[in-house]
Structure formats: structure tokens, C-alpha cells
Amino acid sequence: MNRKNKIQRFSGSAVQRLGLALAAALLAASAPAAEKQSRNLTLADCVGLALENSLDLKIEKISRQVAQTEVDAARGGYDPSLSISAKRAHDETLGSADEAGVRRTDETDRDTYEASVGGATSLGGLSYEIGAKTGDSSGTSAGNPFDASTGSAGITLTQPLLKGFKTDGTRYQVAIARRQSAEAAVQLEAKIQNVLSRVETAWYALLQAHESILVQEEAVRLATQLYEDNRRKVQIGAMSLLDEKQAESQAASARADLSSAKRSYAEAQNQLKTLLFADHRNFRDLEIAAIGELSSGPVDVDSAASGERALEQRPDLRQERMALERQGIVVKYQKDQTLPSLDLVGGVGVTASDEETQGDALDRMGSADEPYWSAGVALTIPLGNRTAKARHAQSLANEEKMKWELRQLEETALVEVDDAAAAVATGYERVQATREARQYAEQALAAEQRKLESGKSTSFVVLQLQRDLTTARNTAIQALMDYNQQCAALALAEGGMLARHHVAFADE
């Protein structure tokens, strides 16, 4: 059965469905593709978007807020505590025998109500307790009924004289929390500087990727033009087929390099968009056009001055110094824990006892007819106290360790600054050299093309010079991007990325 007979077996409806499908396919093919959105962004624009949308910064800001609330939590140690209690008790005891030898049972019912407010202060570890107590007793004693009320109100103060005087638990926790909150602020600043550095690097990479596409497009144009010229010369017998195939091969290779450059450009787009936007799905079809030029001017480099700036303003060094100060607080607190407790305790108040009713007891307390006061000292000496002594020794060892770690970090920072400064100096020289190499390659190709047109050169030499020119152009672009990245790396090593991008860090 031939193909014509097979087609004739389709029913009318099947043919209609096939026609509709073909029509839809043709319409879809002829319909214009959705235009890709484009957005022009300068480096400053990118910095602003990153500061607003960066997920890294959002996470770090939450960590900063947590550290701030930890200070409030530590201050909660000064919040007073209110205590209220009510108790009822019943006692039965055998009383003494009477003249008839009968022993009566004495019964007592007691109702007691207490309320107090107490807490600690930041005044040298002073603690206080203000309280009031009332009670009512009723029952029988030796066969005689009784009913009496008592009450008292006063304040008790406890002042440490040794352990807890310079630093107690609450003051220690507040001081530690404040230092950690300040460290979190510096850590947030460090994260901002890192984000700015990554944004700047990604912006340069996007510029380079775009310039590389232009270079490769020019390479495709030159190679294609030479191929067309060679093909015409082969047709008229003025050139060998080998020259045509060499030019055709280079044109194909240039097209392949152009495809690679476009892929690198797409990757650079995604890298920058990841830093600028928090939702990739909404910006997947956005194309960022980097607006601006790479700096090619010289930068004055002073390694010694850069090193001093790094020691002063780098966030990681400042955070390490703050951590060392925090460890000093730990050392003082642990030393305080090795001391014996010597507390001065004093109290003053009024009492009322054996009144007929609770109202009478309250009246007597209000008139202060029965005042009292007390004063004394309490000494507690821990025997051995090995735990506190060991903790103090550990804190001293950790402090010494952190001092050396800070020294090591400072030395590392100085080396990083020296390397970055040297890279800037040599990077500028490389920019100048690659620029000259590109100019020479352009002049050499133009001269060789003129020689080829006059029959004094070969297509092979022109192809080689075209490849040399493409390489020189890409190398010049790479050198310029590297130089700008090296300048940014020097600013990051100095801790000056905020000033470089005119960003003011405001710790909230």
C-alpha cells in the first residue's frame, strides 16, 4: 500500500483535526516571542538593591535583633518578684492534767497570709525584700477558748561585701549580653561589606561577559568575511580550496566561542540577580544591562597606610577585640566566684501580736507601736572550692588564647593588605600592557589584510592574526576587570567597602 492510499483512509474529522493542529503550530511559530524585560543598572543601583533585598543581610539583621533582645532578657534579672501565700493549719496537743487527773486536748487553728516583693539591684549586688504577714489563731488551751491575731511588716536588705560585690550573676549576664549585642552589630557590618564586595565583583563580571560577546561577534564577522572572500577567490581559481576550508573552520570556531560567551553572560546575569533580588522566579526573565565603565586610572597605593587602616577599621578585627573585652568580664566574674561570701544583712519593720482581731493587728502595725530592727553578717567559706578555681583558671587560659588569636588575625590582615596592594600595582601595569598589545594586534591585522589584498600574504597568516587579535581583546578586557576587582579587594582588606560605595551603617 502506497502513501497516497494511507492518507485516503483518514476520516474527514481526523483530517480536520490535523489541519487545525497544523494551523495552530504555524500560528505559534509565526507569533512574535515574548520580549525579554531589560533593566539598566549602574553599580550604585545594584548596591542599593542588594542592601534592600539580600537574603544574607535579612538573616544577619535578625541575628542582630536576637542579640539586642538578649540584653533585655538579661536585664530581667532586676525585675522584682511578687510572692503571695495563704495557709491554714490545725494542731492538737495533749495538755496538762487538772486536779481531777483529766488531761484535756488543746486545739489550735491558724490562718496565715503573707505577701512580699523582692529582687536584686545593680548597686553592688544589693538585694531587698519587702513583706507583710498577718495571722489569726483560735482554739482552746487548757479548756479555755482563745482568739488572737498577729502581724508584721518590714524590709530586709542584703549587701555582699566579698563575693558578689564587684560583679554578681545578673550584672555579669547584662554585661555579657551588651558585649555580644555590640559584636553582632559589627558582624552585621562585616556581612554588609562582604555583600558589597560580591555585588561589585558580579557587576564587573557582567560587564566583562557583555564585552566578551562583542569581541566574539567581531571575531565571527572578521572570520566570516575572510571566508566569503576566500570562497570567491577559489571559485575564480585565484586561491586554493585549503585556504577556503581554513577560513571556514575559523568562522565555525568563532561561532562556537560566541556561544560560550553568551552562556557566560547568562551565568553572570544569574549571579548578579541572586545578589540583587530575593525571588528568582519573578526576575528569571529580566535582563540586566550593566551601565558604566571599568576604571582604568592609576590608584595610589601605600601598603603601610593601608595596613594601619585595616587594623583600625576591619570589622573582623574589631569584633575579635570586643570578644577579648568580653572574655575579660568572664575572668573577673570567675575570680569573684572564688571568694567567700560575706554578707551584711539588716532589716527594719513593725509587728503586732496577740490582738483580738486582724483589724486590731493592722491598726497596731499602722501606728508602729512595736517596731523592730536587726543587723548582722553572714560568712560562708567554700571548703576546697575546686570548681570555681578551675573555672577561673580556664577563663585566664581562654583570655590568653584569644590574645594570640587576635595577634594572628592582625598579622593575617596585614599580609592580605600587602598582597592586595601589590595586586593593584601590578594590575594597573597589566592593563597598560594588554591595551598596547591589543592596539598592536589591530594594526598588525590591518596591515596583513592589505598585504593579502595585494597578493603579498596568505590567508593562513591573516587567520592567525585574527585569532591573535581576538585573544588580545579578551585579555585586555580580563585585565581591566581584574584591575577593578583588585581595587575592590584592597578596599575590602582595609575594611573600607562602606566608604567606597558611600554607604552609611546605622545600627538600629
What percentage of the chain exceeds 70 in pLDDT? 87
Torsion of CA 234, 238, 244, 250, to 10 degrees: -140
Between 505 and 194, whose confidence is greater? 194
Tell me how far apart the alpha carbons of residues 372 and 42 are, in angstroms, rounded to a whole number: 79
**pLDDT interval class at 507 (50, 70, 90):** low
* Residue 463: band (very low, low, confident or very high) from pLDDT cuts 50, 70, 90: confident
All residues at 6 or more sequence positions from 305 whose CB lies less than 8 Å from its CB, including other chains: none
**pLDDT tens digits for range 121-174:** 989 899 999 998 887 777 777 667 877 777 788 999 999 999 999 888 999 999
* CATH for 37-70+173-329+394-500, options being 1.20.1600.10, 2.40.50.140, 3.40.50.1370, 2.40.30.10: 1.20.1600.10
Who has greater pLDDT, 98 or 409?
Answer: 409
Number of Cβ within 10 Å of residue 136's Cβ equals 19
User: Which range, of 29-33, 181-185, 326-330, averages the lowest pLDDT?
Assistant: 29-33
Beta bridge partners, 37, equal: 286
pLDDT bucket at 349, cuts 50 / 70 / 90: confident
Query: According to the model, what pLDDT value does residue 406 have?
Result: 96
pLDDT for residue 50 is more than 80: yes
Q: What is the pLDDT of residues 5-23, one digit of tens each?
A: 333 333 333 334 333 333 3
Question: pLDDT exceeding 90 applies to what percent of the chain?
Answer: 53
- Radius of gyration in angstroms for the set of CA atoms belonging to the chain, rounded to a whole number: 44
Instruction: Tell me which of 378 and 358 has the higher pLDDT.
Output: 378
Could you tell me the residue ranges of all domains in the chain? Answer: 37-70+173-329+394-500, 80-120+126-163+341-380
Predicted confidence at residue 2, as pLDDT, reads 41
- Model confidence pLDDT, tens digit, residues 217-228: 988 888 888 878
Residue 95 confidence (pLDDT): 64
Q: Which amino acid is at 102?
A: V
356: helix, strand or coil: coil
What is the C-alpha to C-alpha distance for residues 96 and 141, in angstroms, rounded to an integer?
A: 10
Average pLDDT over every residue of 43-65: 92
**In the predicted structure, residue 359 carries a pLDDT above the cut 70:** no
pLDDT of residue 129: 94
Q: Categorize the per-residue pLDDT at 250 as very low, low, confident or very high, splitting at 50, 70 and 90.
A: confident
Q: Which of the listed ranges 13-22, 201-210, 352-361 does the model predict with the highest average pLDDT? A: 201-210
How do 37-41 and 286-290 pair as beta strands? parallel
Task: Report which of 113, 155, 149 is spatially closest to residue 130, judged by C-alpha positions.
Answer: 155
pLDDT at 99: 64
**Which cell is 377 given?**
553578717
Predicted confidence (pLDDT) per residue in 397-426, tens digit:
999 999 999 999 999 999 999 999 999 999
Lowest-confidence pick of 80-94, 108-122, 362-376: 362-376
pLDDT value of position 375: 93
Q: What share of the chain is helix, strand, coil (3-state, %, to 5)?
A: 65, 20, 15
| pLDDT for res 103 | 67
Higher pLDDT, 198 or 295: 198
Query: pLDDT (tens digit, 9 = 90+) per residue, 258-282?
Result: 999 999 999 999 999 999 998 888 8
**Predicted local distance difference test score (pLDDT) of residue 237:** 76
27-36, 146-155, 318-327, 453-462: least confidently modelled range: 27-36
CA dist., res. 133 & res. 110, Å (int) = 13
pLDDT at residue 319, as a whole number: 95
Average predicted confidence (pLDDT) for the chain: 84
DSSP one-letter string for 290-335: E-S----S-----HHHHHHHHHHH-HHHHHHHHHHHHHHHHHHHHH
CA end-to-end distance (rounded Å), the chain: 84
Query: Confidence class of residue 378 from pLDDT cuts 50, 70 and 90?
Result: very high
Pick 374 or 18 by higher pLDDT: 374
